[in-house]
Structures are given as C-alpha cells and as structure tokens.
Amino acid sequence: MSTVDSASDDRTANNSVRHNYRVLTDDEKAQMVELKDLGAAFLAKCDEIGQSREMSLAKTNAEQAVMWAVKHVTA
C-alpha cells in the first residue's frame, strides 16, 4: 500500500472516500499539520500517563477532535 503525505498536493490522488479533494493553500497545509501534531503530542502524553478506560475514551475523543478540526481546514 502506498502512502501520501497529508500536506502534499498528491493527496488528491490517494482518494477512496471523497470524490474530489481540493489543493490546499500553504497556510491550510500548515494548519492541518499543526493540528495533527498537537493531537499526536496529546496522545503521546496520554500513553506516558498510563492505560485505563477513561484514558482510552480521552484518546478516542482527541482523535475525533483532530479529525473534525482537519475536516474544517480541508473542506
């Protein structure tokens, strides 16, 4: 399976759900990367703290928050 960097214009070719992707501006690409980096940092901190049902819920909801924020930027 090949992958495409999410900030690359080539992401428009790696499409399985959306029918069309638009090319993002440089500012939008930076916003998307920053949101994903913030989410990854939060998930990493959660992993450092430990595992529990509550932590699993926190991580799931953080992933969902990042997804919706990125959707806002890329829509």
Residue 3 has pLDDT above 70, yes or no: no
pLDDT of 6-16, one tens digit each? 777 776 665 56
pLDDT of 15-73, one tens digit each? 566 666 778 899 999 999 999 999 999 999 999 999 999 999 999 999 999 999 999 99
Residues 6+ apart with CB under 8 A from 32: 6, 7, 24, 70, 73, 74
Sign of CA dihedral 2, 6, 7, 12: positive
Is the entire prediction scored with pTM above 0.85? no
Contact assessment for residue 43 and residue 62, using Cβ atoms and an 8 Å cutoff: yes
